Amino acid sequence: MSDFVILTDSSSNLTPDLVREAEIEVIPLTCFTSQGEMPCYDDTKPFDGHAFYDALRHTGPIKTSMINVHQFLDAFEPIVRAGKDVLYFAMSSGISGTCAAGAQAAAELMKKYPGRVIRVVDTLAASFGEGIFALKASLMRKAKNTLQTAGDWAENNKRRMCQFFTVDDLTFLQKGGRISAFTAKIGTLANIKPLLVGDSEGRIVSCGKVIGRKKSLQAIADLFDKHAGNDENEIVAIAHGDCEADAQYLANLLKKKRNLKDVLIRCYEPGTGSHVGPGAVALFFLSPEPCK
């Protein structure tokens, strides 16, 4: 049977238009701002990225909360109760406990509803690195592939997901414990821009540094040239922290290196964006060979 429901969480960076087109469901993480608690995804209204990141520029990083087991039970149970199965694409277990919470809820419900399947895929990724797998699974479902086939494909190909990004303000990485306060201070004074990558365990690690914003974007384009294949139909996506001009600049660099039909560009959703900060630019694509 190819009749199954695809879910992901708001970290996937899939906006309501993409979600509707691909017929995917999204479980939101939670942000805690000066205005109070807010979901990181709301399909009833567009996300005002400029307002959100402008607030971050003035207040600094905000707190976020992972999806807990109870929230997963609430999301999964109506689906399996209705007689359908679930394929859930989770944020990397290397950076969040969300995947483990989803797996716990899935195990409880499969005992309660014998014969139903809830498969949780640890994508080892975040943002579009996670969302691309959900989009691919949607295409596979449309082509009448089964949940098992789509889930197996994701498991077998998740180490091909390349995630390269840079940030404009090292303070957010420092506040999140990614770098020391001393490194953040020296890097800011020297205009050093870090290059970061998702590693084989789904963690975010450094893979280099350059001086200057344009050079950091050019370095990411060079990494794309090194790792990308030549399939013009492959999904290539860029997430940005309220700096669309820089995202477009990177997209143009990519198009000079490959014959791309399109580059998907969206503002970073609030959950991930609160950790990488305004000015972050990230590139996501599947390489022909494992890049993790």
Residue 258 vs residue 1, higher pLDDT? 258
pLDDT at 195: 85
pLDDT for 238 beyond 90 = yes
Is 107 in the same domain as 195? no
Cβ atoms < 10 Å from Cβ of 73: 17
Q: Which pairs count as long-range contacts for 174-183, CB under 8 Å and 24+ apart, including other chains?
A: 175/60, 175/61, 176/61, 176/275, 178/204
19 within a domain of the structure (yes/no)? yes
pLDDT at 231: 87
If residue 251 lies in a helix (H) or strand (E), which one and from where to where? helix 244-257
Is 86 in the same domain as 174? no
CB 207 within 8 A of CB 195: yes
pLDDT for 1 beyond 60 = no
Angle at which helices 213-227 and 244-257 cross, to 10°: 40
Is 132 in the same domain as 182? no
Domain boundary among 106, 136, 158: 158
Residue 32 vs residue 114, higher pLDDT? 114
291 within a domain of the structure (yes/no)? no
Closest CA to 283 of 195, 133, 163, 200: 163
CB 142 within 8 A of CB 268: no
265 within a domain of the structure (yes/no)? yes
Residue 175 vs residue 33, higher pLDDT? 33
Is 127 in the same domain as 194? no
**275 lies in which domain range?**
160-286
pLDDT tens for 92-121 read: 998 889 999 999 999 999 999 999 999 999
As a whole number of angstroms, the distance between CA 221 and CA 246 comes to: 12
Q: Report the CATH number at residue 16.
A: 3.40.50.10170
pLDDT tens for 178-203 read: 555 545 554 555 567 888 888 888 88
pTM, two decimal places:
0.92
pLDDT at 188: 56
195 within a domain of the structure (yes/no)? yes
Average of per-residue pLDDT across 137-153? 97
As a whole number of angstroms, the distance between CA 117 and CA 40 comes to: 27
Residue 21 vs residue 204, higher pLDDT? 21
Domain count, the chain: 2
